Structure formats: structure tokens, C-alpha cells
Structure 1
């Protein structure tokens, strides 16, 4: 990483890593419920511009630091979880970057501007 991440990014990445560790240890399904909010936090805080690493790489590294043995023995599952997180992050990124005209054509603001009346 070339730049230091801000505390909000660090906290979101740490929380994601903790939730992935819990999932690997079968200690709950909080990851499913909280992942979207945390990924959106990363997106809105500018993770894609402030880090040279992908979300998947960052989270995977933190998971290995936090729950090393479990992560090592369940590496396939860890890769699957972080890959899914990365796909969700990229999907959010695409959705946030769409301009309104891509979804539908512009519409008149009110009825009088839509007619010749």
C-alpha cells in the first residue's frame, strides 16, 4: 500500500476481516447481514483510490493475521468468501458510477413542460 488508509477505511476493513473470521469458524452469519453496509462504506470512503490493493487482498491479509490457523486450514473457503466480497464491491462500484441517463431517458419535470399547452 502506498498511502495510509484513513481510520474509517481501516475500521471497515477490520470489521469485514472479523466477520469473515467468524464465518470461517462457523460462529454466526453476521457477514451476510453487514457486508453490504461495510462495502458501501469502503466505496464511499474512496478505498479504490486510496489503496493499491483490492478489497479482497486487504481483507484476506487481515483475516490471515487475525485467525491464522483457521484461515490456513480453510483457505478455499476464505478465497470464496473474499472473492464474493470483491464481486459485491465491484457491483456496488458500477451501480454508484452509473449516470441516471444509463437507466432511463430523461423525463420532463412536470406536465406543462411535457406538453405544448
Structure 2
């Protein structure tokens, strides 16, 4: 049996979260929260999923934009990605968000 993670990619309300068994042997439960400022309005998008790596290094982002903040947390315990923790997370600026933040985010940026 593998790691159990919450899986609700790209749902700003987090109402459609399901649990899933992570298919990666050494995978991570990941929570990503993006805050985007569009026309002076602040919008947030959260994503919970399982990945084969922990994407904490955002320095390789192709575009940096001060209107976008991304908070990512990773853990390796069953259902540990239920919420974004207040400690131990990385805030950084990024324009293009790592692992597909969803059509919701893309539509917001366009």
C-alpha cells in the first residue's frame, strides 16, 4: 500500500477533494496555493495532489511576476496535505506556476 494523499487539483473551493493512493514509490503529498492579483483584485487557487518530487525550488520559473505568489508544502504521511501549513512553506514569486495550476488559474491570468 502506498502513500494516501488528498487529490483536488485546481479547485478554489476545495469541495471536490478525494483521496488517492500515490502511484510513486517515494512520492510526496503536495499542497500548492497561488495568490494572483488581477485588476487590483486578489484571487486564490489551491491544489492538492501527489507528485514524484517536492517542487520547492521555484528559481527555475520561466517568468517572474510580482502579482503572483505561490506557497508550496510537501509531506510524506497519509493524508497530510489537507491544508496549507503555516510553517515550513516556501513563498516566492512566480509567473508560470509549476505543475499545472489549472484552467482556473490560466483563465484568471488571461
TM-score (structure 2 length as normaliser): 0.22
| Structure (1 or 2) with the larger CA radius of gyration | 1
Q: Quick check: which one's strand share is greater?
A: 2
